[in-house]
Structure 1
Amino acid sequence: MQDKTAGQAGQQQAVPAWARVVELFPPSDRVLSTILARQAERYGDRVLLVAGRTRWTYAQAATIAAASALTLIEAGIKPGDRVALMCSNRPEFLQIYLGCAWLGAIAVPINTALRGLQLAHIFRNSRPVLLVAEAGFLAAIEAVGADADLPPLVWTIGPVRETRRIASVPLPALGPGAPAGAVRPGDAVAILYTSGTTGPAKGVCCPQAQLFWWGVCSARALGIRDGDILFTTLPLFHTNALNAFYQAVLNGCTYVLEPKFSASGFWAAARAHNASVGYLLGAMASMLLAQPRTEEDTAHRVRVALGGGVPPQVQRPFLERFGVPLVDGYGSTETNFVFAGPIPSDRPGTMGHLADGFEARIVDEDDSELPDGQAGELVLRPKEPFAFATGYFGMPEKTVEAWRNLWFHSGDRVVRDADGHYRFIDRMKDSIRRRGENVSSWEVEELILSHPAVAACAIYPLPSELGEDEVAAALLLKQGQTLQPADIIRHCEGRIAYFAIPRYVRIMSEMPLTENGKIRKGALQQAGVTTGTWDREAAGIRVRR
């Protein structure tokens, strides 16, 4: 099959790619099986995916999705069943994800850094009937608590190793395909877990149409064109890299998936792939700027990059050095690309303006709207059906709380300026953002409190040299107990994600408390790095991943 659009690309550039997508896929067609089949017919042999040595054309991607669906059906997977995925950035992840979407099953991507109680919670909450795991993660899965039932069926990517609790078989080879399932735009295509701030991680139910709109709205914000090469090093188990795949397939682009981010190798990889669009988080931009200058800093074709969370003081130096404007924006796993700035930004470091298709308010604790210039909670809702998530899996009370009064409550403290710019202030609750990952203070505190010497613990953020947060722990020891700060690091290793392990440890003689007995984390944060604060990086201690 040949690419039928090659001779028409120039004529179509007058109409933005994302605008054509909305016309080509009316509401009932905003499901991935229909999208893949229609784009296979439209683009044929054009390359859709590049992942290492793997290349999929548009036509092959549709064939692989149908064949993957049949392997799932033959294993007994039905529409609505959950299929857990613990896999790094490799084509097998997308193979299983596409098969689930084609069939109507629900993919449950798992952060590959999770360990212990975090993994156990996901298995208990999502109750997957199949787990597809890279061989290197089987030991972590095996180590989850006995109270968490592992899926009855496990497929392994890579060498199969029998363990005490896991009887796995190799990932089945693909054969013929299955017809697309009777999937609707409001059906869940994935459950993506986002770190809780005051409790366990919540599984966000993402409908088929939400990912469609992620592809459309992100393409609109980035100015994506037919034929662009989208280059990401971000993990597929997060919204960012997953929705970049939708951006590609919806807009006739090539999706280049690298295994992981490398500050020293990023631009060389972008040049090798001839990339035109990139995806960065705040800390990544800072790391790239920290690299030694070379004559090849602008020897690439990257026209624009997503720069979510990039500090304002980084954006202009980044543009001047690399020639790449960074797009300000805002979205979450539960919502969509609801705010975006122009290219280049007219107010670096803000969230940008509210995008078409969404409504936003800044409200007080009673959900009453606040005037411009006054900080409050950001609440959102879409104008298109199923453009947002539909709730939290297995947590009806959390769903009602977040979507109360028919608005999604973001938990973010935001200000709307009189000129229409929105500015992020902080989280309403206790959350830490480290190296592009959300850290649940509650989960880290629960783990540290399990140490027999610890009486009380508070986890809070301290500023990082990279413009995001570092995790700090304040501890109160039990009477007569002693420990070294390094003991806490060893206690956390293997039991929680490496990025959640504290950098700073401060052992307190007493905790600052509120009138009702709660620890005043604000006071700890305001004190910063004190003379009594231990820094594991200064001590030369590295955490195992």
Structure 2
Amino acid sequence: MSEARRQLAGAVLAAGGRLDGSGPEATAARIDRCARWYRRAGVGDGDLVLLTGLSPDGLLAAVVACWSIGAAAWVTPRAPEGVRTCAATFVATAEGTVQPTAPRRDEPTGPVPEALALVHETSGSTGEPKLARRSVDSLLAEHVGYREGLRLDATDTVRVPVPVAHSFGSGVAIGALLSGCRLDIRPFSTPASVAADLDRGSATKLAVTPALLGLLTRTGRRGDNRPRAILAGAGLVPDGLDAACVARFGVPVTRGYGSSETGGILIGPQGLGRPIPSVEIVQPEVGACGELVVRTGTPVLGHADEPVRTSLRWDTGDIVERDASGQVRFVERKPGALRANGKFLDTGPVRAALGAVEGVDEVAFVVLPRAGRTEFEDVFAVVAGSRVDRKSAERALHSTTTDDFAPRLRIVDELPRTGLGKLDRTALTEGITGDG
């Protein structure tokens, strides 16, 4: 049942991709050594191995090692003590350290779904992070998208200074390995050091978030080399960033777009990009505006807390415009229904009223158990902006509240962001509970 995962590992090894400064043989030996450790610990077909606390290159080696022995991998950016391990059969906290999560029973937690290759967390920017399943076929399809969109080949060194435990970083990294590239996944330290990798020719392709790319464009040159491509993903490319990228690095921005549940599904030089070969846009029609819905070549397996999906359709939740040429441009996130105390609540009117207050940059909603009465939930409307007048915000909030939906107001200078620049709901929640 795990042959697809073994074949995926075989494809990575056959491509000759290289981790950091290692050659193909050294990379393959490292993966094989990790697989032997896991096999000796009892990992095998149908297991799900939680990988936490590993270095970026150690994490990728461990992922491929899991596939090579028929197991699926669960990657997380969280520290070991911050992860509930109940869904995993084994936990690895270092390349040579792997243990079962509980005594093995006659019926272990596995086997995992046959198609499953990888489990990772959603960004959490539109709700609490969930565990998203990724299939072998979806990773292979994503690889083709990145290979063609970035023209990856064995002569490339691909710099990925974003977390490879997230969908964007892992997608580019796995795609680079499957394309036979050398992969440099050292974390982002300073803008100058990452820009120097491009200026000196030690990296030919780069994958970063738009926020990080903005920092890179403001660095001084430290060499005469130019990158072949720069991919900006996991966020919208703001106006002016493309021109700044051309002025600093000599290449335009390549846009990447996707969902944690699907991986990268659009890539291109404008807007959100164009569908990769395995993806078809279902709606909106050319010349229309509406929610972006796609059909993928392989089922989107969904989240770990729900039955395995078999549908090829995925509703992204993003409102886009599709012009006469078929180019897709982002308009806004589809207003979501918030669930609290067993009811779905429409946040649209409140969001609009607060967003119209002078000085408000962003609005987010958080649902938390009520202190001392956890059977009830409270909704918090968090307003971000350094010049927000509290009384004005309170008036706007009160004008739209009802008996069923009366959120409590919090005002902050700015919303916390993850390493990918997305809303960090964990930090936001901690900030609210810390304020009492």
TM-score bucket (shorter structure) = 0.7 to 0.9
Question: Is it true that 1:329 corresponds to 2:250 in the alignment?
Answer: no
Judged with a 3 Å threshold, the aligned counterparts in structure 2 of structure 1 residues 115 and 269 are, in CA distance, closer, same or farther, namely: farther
Judged with a 3 Å threshold, the aligned counterparts in structure 2 of structure 1 residues 128 and 475 are, in CA distance, closer, same or farther, namely: farther
Give the letter aligned to residue 132 of structure 1: A
1:353 to 264, 269, 274: 274
Give the letter aligned to residue 329 of structure 1: G
SS at match of 2:264: coil
Gapped regions of structure 1 (runs ≥ 5): 1-26, 136-149, 154-182, 363-369, 432-438, 465-471, 477-505, 525-531
Written as runs of structure 1 = structure 2, the 5 A alignment for 1:383-398 is 383=297, 386=298, 389-396=300-307
Q: Percent identity?
A: 22
Q: Where does residue 8 of structure 2 map in the other structure?
A: 32
Written as runs of structure 1 = structure 2, the 5 A alignment for 1:236-275 is 236-271=164-199, 274-275=202-203
Deviation at 1:101, TM superposition (A): 1.0
Number of equivalenced pairs: 376
Is the 8 Å Cα contact of residues 216 and 250 (structure 1) preserved in structure 2? no
SS at match of 1:189: strand
Judged with a 3 Å threshold, the aligned counterparts in structure 2 of structure 1 residues 243 and 509 are, in CA distance, closer, same or farther, namely: closer
1:409 to 315, 328, 332: 315
For 1:508 and 1:31, the matched residues in 2 are separated by: 60
Judged with a 3 Å threshold, the aligned counterparts in structure 2 of structure 1 residues 189 and 533 are, in CA distance, closer, same or farther, namely: closer
2:27 to 44, 49, 61: 61
Judged with a 3 Å threshold, the aligned counterparts in structure 2 of structure 1 residues 441 and 237 are, in CA distance, closer, same or farther, namely: farther
1:425 to 297, 316, 331: 331
Is the 8 Å Cα contact of residues 383 and 411 (structure 2) preserved in structure 1? no
Q: Where does residue 347 of structure 2 map in the other structure?
A: none
For 2:170 and 2:162, the matched residues in 1 are separated by: 9
SS at match of 1:265: helix
Written as runs of structure 1 = structure 2, the 5 A alignment for 1:334-345 is 334-341=261-268, 345=269
SS at match of 2:295: strand
Give the letter aligned to residue 243 of structure 2: R
For 1:202 and 1:239, the matched residues in 2 are separated by: 12
Deviation at 1:511, TM superposition (A): 4.3
For 1:259 and 1:79, the matched residues in 2 are separated by: 32
Q: Where does residue 62 of structure 2 map in the other structure?
A: 96
Root mean square deviation, CA, Å: 4.3
For 2:363 and 2:33, the matched residues in 1 are separated by: 38
Judged with a 3 Å threshold, the aligned counterparts in structure 2 of structure 1 residues 186 and 461 are, in CA distance, closer, same or farther, namely: farther
2:230 to 302, 305, 308: 305
Is the 8 Å Cα contact of residues 258 and 265 (structure 2) preserved in structure 1? yes
Larger radius of gyration: 1
Is the 8 Å Cα contact of residues 97 and 107 (structure 1) preserved in structure 2? yes
SS at match of 2:404: coil
Is the 8 Å Cα contact of residues 69 and 100 (structure 1) preserved in structure 2? yes
Q: Where does residue 107 of structure 1 map in the other structure?
A: 73
| Moved beyond 6 Å, runs of 4+ | 27-30, 506-510, 542-545
Q: Where does residue 86 of structure 1 map in the other structure?
A: 52
Judged with a 3 Å threshold, the aligned counterparts in structure 2 of structure 1 residues 28 and 110 are, in CA distance, closer, same or farther, namely: closer
Q: Where does residue 212 of structure 1 map in the other structure?
A: 140
Give the letter aligned to residue 190 of structure 1: L
For 1:221 and 1:72, the matched residues in 2 are separated by: 35
Q: Where does residue 423 of structure 2 map in the other structure?
A: none
Deviation at 1:361, TM superposition (A): 2.0
For 1:272 and 1:185, the matched residues in 2 are separated by: 45
Judged with a 3 Å threshold, the aligned counterparts in structure 2 of structure 1 residues 420 and 307 are, in CA distance, closer, same or farther, namely: same
Deviation at 1:187, TM superposition (A): 2.5
Q: Deviations over 1:117-157 (max 9, x none)?
A: xx34xx34xx212222369xxxxxxxxxxxxxx9349xxxx
Q: Where does residue 293 of structure 2 map in the other structure?
A: 379
Written as runs of structure 1 = structure 2, the 5 A alignment for 1:12-27 is none
Q: Where does residue 38 of structure 2 map in the other structure?
A: 72
